Structure 1
């Protein structure tokens, strides 16, 4: 009996210790959107409620050097996502070296790609700078491609007297879905676009000790191949071609107690090859940048102001060549986007948040062909009004 009681005490103690190491959090948000023209996350021209986010994440530290973490996400976003729960990330973090001067580790599994300032936290409404991140850098139309990878990521953090330096290098299979095919092939052909090889990722970050100033460079490569349906009608589907791209982001941010100033610049060399006569070989150099400021004028209130520009090809900033090469199938307005955004955030309490945002658009580069399949109906000048409420626990 005594042995049984001792064993029960040990099991109870272990369970309590394990529960102390387990953390569970979550969030839910709902938005209502209206556009004056075009479609953005649902039938927004007639007001859309089709933007809902529900996430539950957890982390368990089994030992001081081993951490498991993951998140299940349900995201309903117009035609881009139907809300089916998916594994947002799920990884094991092995801490190999930990000292006062540096930290070295490896993440294995599905990890968030360390791209730019916001990609690793873009799914949590409370951590975004606005209801929507700058779309010329963080495209929602190809969100999953940039969001995460299945593979390994090595990281090394240095803690110096003059600041902190972080470096990461990894490789993994990117997540290619129908949205990616629509964005890079401009429609959903009979066949499947998928990753042909693992992609490489790298990032380098510097921040001063107070983390008021941040400076970073990040990059990823993607190699995709289109496999046409063998039963597709001739001359209606491209051949087994490739889409290769290199995505580069340069980031800088400065924070004070009330102000944050942020700027990011992206360059994306893209090559389409071996698709056949229906889709001739083509090279482009996509480009995007934004300038953003946020002002925390009250402990519960924050104001956002942002300007961004993006181009499908920096050598064709008005989209004229794009329209000519596609024989008018792709309108020139799809070659660029210039966006002015402003918004307010009200932190009602530690759990509830309410946001309002207005965007004025010139161009359609950020729009998804999946939600706007009839290119002839696209309008160059349009506006977006959005309200969002969020809850977290």
Structure 2
């Protein structure tokens, strides 16, 4: 990963050698205060912390008429939500295809590309493009932020702007590296081996009328993971398959907008805990958000997000019984109510705050952790205030 970050930084230094018309670069700095109360989702011991830092630098270099390179490096600190440190968000070659039949336009991304398949997947890495610091966890689960943001491989996108309709078709195939914190969420912090994503295969379609007041879409994801235990591991070799379906919708009016996504995902696991282990589960959820623009500088947000870990055990009582009470029932689901406020205090400066009321904790910690019950109460809260500047 470090060599990829160095390569991306080399891309960002290209203005020394390229004309201004060939190269552009931008960045952002964001710092805030945050707290989770009654939960270790963000902070421990109900403490207020400054672990809400995002610093990014991205660049775009035009190599030829239809070929360019784009990349971004990012430093991220979000408390317990994801691994702290620098990472390469994306670095890919962008090839704009020649004119296609039927007024279609197309492009191909090769390298570490950005996920284009959900409403906010392509913008979740940039703080000023998010309505809240913590996105709806049913779809945009922070524990897999780096894996879901993009993949190493190839992505194609085709769009058609007609007199009545706008269509967008996306397809991608690749894989991502799995860090230790993501491994621990899948298999618990007792796992000491290596987990790899064999592949992630995705496709999506979006439709808008020519007025662009509506946006509707659907996406599909299929991914295989493989685990190789270490010598002193209490896990065994195994594999897991995840299949995910998402339906998306947005409506835009002059002073307000509504966005929503629903998700259904299937997980099929074999091995991992003992040689003959096999389990299947179906998770379900989704969110709806309402945003209102009071004026050009101030807007507010109301949201609801829900997710159940197993659709056949929506209240988590089977989960609690199977674990002999070690895992409380409320770790089988998570419902979140959100209120947010955004204020553009000056050009390229923004102050954004949010408050979340949560019941349940299935997205807080791996259900395989020995001390899972210590990670959250049944009812808990989280909030943040974040100051952003971009250039």
CA distance in 2, matches of 1:141, 1:189: 16
8 A Cα contact 2:334 2:359, kept in partner: yes
Verify the 8 A CA contact 1:223 1:243 in the aligned structure 2. yes
1:7 alignment partner in structure 2: none
Alignment partner, residue 215 of structure 1: 216
Alignment partner, residue 256 of structure 1: 253
**Secondary structure, aligned partner of 1:244:** strand
Q: Deviations over 1:355-377 (max 9, x none)?
A: 1111110000121349x873222
Report what 2:118 is aligned to.
116
Q: How does 1:176-255 map to 2 (within 5 A)?
A: 176-195=178-197, 197-232=198-233, 237-255=234-252
1:29-82 per-residue CA deviation (whole Å, 9 max, x = no partner) reads: 112112220113233611121121110001112222112101001111224545
Tell me which residue corresponds to 1:53: 54
Asked if residue 352 in structure 1 is aligned to residue 349 in structure 2, the reply is yes
Superposed CA offset, 1:94-132 (max 9, x none)? 112236922122110001122310011101111112222
Q: Show the counterpart of 1:20.
A: 21
Q: What is the distance in 2 between the residues matched to 1:79 and 1:169?
A: 32
Q: Are residues 1:310 and 2:307 paired?
A: yes
**Shift, 1:287, TM fit:** 1.1
Taking structure 1 as reference, are residues 198 and 286 closer, same or farther at Cα in structure 2, changes over 3 Å only?
same
The count of aligned residue pairs is: 374
Q: Could you list the runs of 5+ residues in structure 1 that have no partner in the other structure? A: 1-13
Name the residue aligned to 2:8: none
Match of 1:266 among 263, 279, 285: 263
Three-state SS of the structure 2 residue aligned to 1:229 is: coil
- Deviation above 4 Å: which 4+ runs of structure 1? 14-17
Report matched runs for 1:1-393 at 5 Å: 18-43=19-44, 45-81=46-82, 83-98=84-99, 101-195=103-197, 197-232=198-233, 237-277=234-274, 280-369=277-366, 374-377=371-374, 378-393=376-391
Deviations 1:214-255 (A, max 9, x none): 0111122111111111233xxxx2210111101221100000
The whole-number CA distance in structure 1 between the counterparts of 2:241 and 2:120 is 24
SS at match of 1:18: coil
Distance 1:297 1:80, change over 3 A: closer
Q: Retained in 1: the 8 A contact 2:340–2:352?
A: yes
Q: Secondary structure at the match of 2:122?
A: helix
* Partner in structure 2 of residue 8 of structure 1: none
Q: Unpaired runs of 5+ in structure 2?
A: 1-14
What is the TM-score when the length of structure 2 is the normalising length? 0.90
Structure (1 or 2) with the larger CA radius of gyration: 1
Secondary structure of the corresponding residue to residue 141 of structure 1: helix
Question: Cα gap change, 1:353/1:279 in structure 2, threshold over 3 Å: closer, same or farther?
Answer: farther
Q: What is the CA-CA distance between 1:278 and the residue it aligns to?
A: 8.5
Q: How many Å apart are 1:178 and its aligned residue? A: 2.1
**What is the CA–CA distance in structure 2 between the aligned matches of 1:21 and 1:210, rounded to whole Å?**
33
TM-score by length of 1: 0.90
Q: Distance in 2 between matches of 1:98 and 1:15?
A: 33
